[in-house]
Structure 1
Amino acid sequence: MTESIEKRIDRLESIEEIRQLAGKYSLSLDMRDLDAHVGLFAEDIRVGREKTGRAHLKSWVDSTLRDQFSGTSHHIGQHIIEFIDENHAIGVVYSKNEHETGAEWVLMQMLYWDDYERIEGRWYFRRRLPCYWYASDQNKPAIGDMKMRWPGKTCYSGTFHDLFPSWKQFWSQRPNTNELPNVATPAPIEQFLNMMRKDTPAPKIRVK
């Protein structure tokens, strides 16, 4: 059944509002407007295991920024959005970031796995799951293992690829070059991200 014009317009407006969330997130974070920043999240946002609410989120973001960074710049890349229903959606946002941290200038590549919720007619972040590929001083390329290399901290591996099982499968299975490979059916509408996830559990995130 063809969707009504009202539903199609609502969908387009919702996509644009959700995309604006990602841009507003970066701008408010980089300019240290923490009230504007936490206002992008649902009022009862979960912060850690036991705390909820924007006040706790603001306190956590404030301490993180003051303790680690003199300045930051978050550059948003591609943004994929898929709807669960008219008031819930998921998304993936690429982000390449710069951080002034002490005597080093740290570059980072990452993506966010997002959950969005429309509450009283307005879209908010319900959750942002940051998945890091690398972080390293601009003069020290993050070649090799343990690509998360913050000054003065133990190096560790990020979770950039952990949301999607295809990464490990690609490197563990070498195709037979004498045969054409099997090709899966394209994902249904609104199922591309879930098809790629294949029910992979969300990774545990280490705070930068």
Structure 2
Amino acid sequence: MQTASLEQRLDRLESIEEIRQLVAKYAISLDMRDLDAHVNLFAPDIRVGRERRGREHLKAWVDTTLRDQFTGTSHHLGQHLIEFTDPDHAVGVVYSKNEHETGPEWVIMQMLYWDDYERIDGRWYFRRRLPCYWYASDLNRPPIGDLKMRWPGREPYEGTFHDLFPSWQAFWGQRPDKEALPEVAAPAPLERFLVTLRRDTPAPRIRVR
């Protein structure tokens, strides 16, 4: 039993490192426009839109998106939380601060990804990446106020940065009694921190930028 437990713990540590490498590979392959390397980070039958599946469809979509919107990009990764649902499946949250050259403007962005990872034939892949944006704005125009998604040539709109987590709305929708100590909920169970934060919130609909 001790040996099996040690093997499981080692497998978990190796999986965490491989998933973190997966995320780093995503950023550099996208920024350097190696689309074959990029789409091979996803499960072979990755869903693309409502009706299409496969890396070929994903490559076609990424190619069109990059050529139509961006001259260059740079993705800077922040904190990365990973939790396992079983030995071959995990979820994660990754912060990303991005820069985009788009026409005459330099657009900066803050966002997070909600990821689903799957191990297939011994290797970890993206099963899904859900991008949730806080703001996108010209470098010289701070995104103060509402409608923080401000792409050149488009009407501003709200991002979905906070929509995965109901605590944001709850925080601003209530004012605690300053005369009484607040209640504190029990800590989230091990490997359930992210799921507890979600509180069964459905995934938001993401607008294509």
Letter in 2 for 1:156: Y
The equivalent of 2:192 in structure 1 is: 191
Question: Whole-Å Cα distance in 2 between the matches of residues 4 and 178 of structure 1?
Answer: 49
The equivalent of 1:11 in structure 2 is: 12
The structural deviation recorded for 1:176 is 0.2
Q: TM-score, normalising length from structure 1? A: 0.99
The structural deviation recorded for 1:97 is 0.1
The structural deviation recorded for 1:154 is 1.2
Structure 1 portions without partners, runs of 5+: none
Q: TM-score, normalising length from structure 2? A: 0.98
Deviations 1:142-170 (A, max 9, x none): 00010000000111000000000000000
Runs of 4+ in 1 over 3 A off after TM superposition: none
The equivalent of 2:62 in structure 1 is: 61
The equivalent of 1:154 in structure 2 is: 155
Question: Whole-Å Cα distance in 2 between the matches of residues 138 and 174 of structure 1?
Answer: 35
Q: How does 1:92-107 map to 2 (within 5 A)?
A: 92-107=93-108
The structural deviation recorded for 1:105 is 0.3
2:205 is equivalent to residue 204 of structure 1: yes
Question: Whole-Å Cα distance in 1 between the matches of residues 99 and 158 of structure 2?
Answer: 19
Aligned residue pairs: how many?
Answer: 208
2:90 is equivalent to residue 86 of structure 1: no
Question: Whole-Å Cα distance in 1 between the matches of residues 37 and 208 of structure 2?
Answer: 22
The equivalent of 2:135 in structure 1 is: 134
Letter in 1 for 2:46: I
The equivalent of 1:121 in structure 2 is: 122
SS class of match (1:99): strand
Letter in 2 for 1:157: E
Question: Whole-Å Cα distance in 1 between the matches of residues 200 and 87 of structure 2?
Answer: 22
The equivalent of 2:38 in structure 1 is: 37
The equivalent of 2:178 in structure 1 is: 177
Deviations 1:129-151 (A, max 9, x none): 00000000000010001000000
Question: Whole-Å Cα distance in 1 between the matches of residues 47 and 39 of structure 2?
Answer: 12
Question: Whole-Å Cα distance in 1 between the matches of residues 101 and 38 of structure 2?
Answer: 20
SS class of match (1:156): coil
SS class of match (1:4): helix
Identical columns (%): 75
Question: Whole-Å Cα distance in 1 between the matches of residues 25 and 175 of structure 2?
Answer: 42
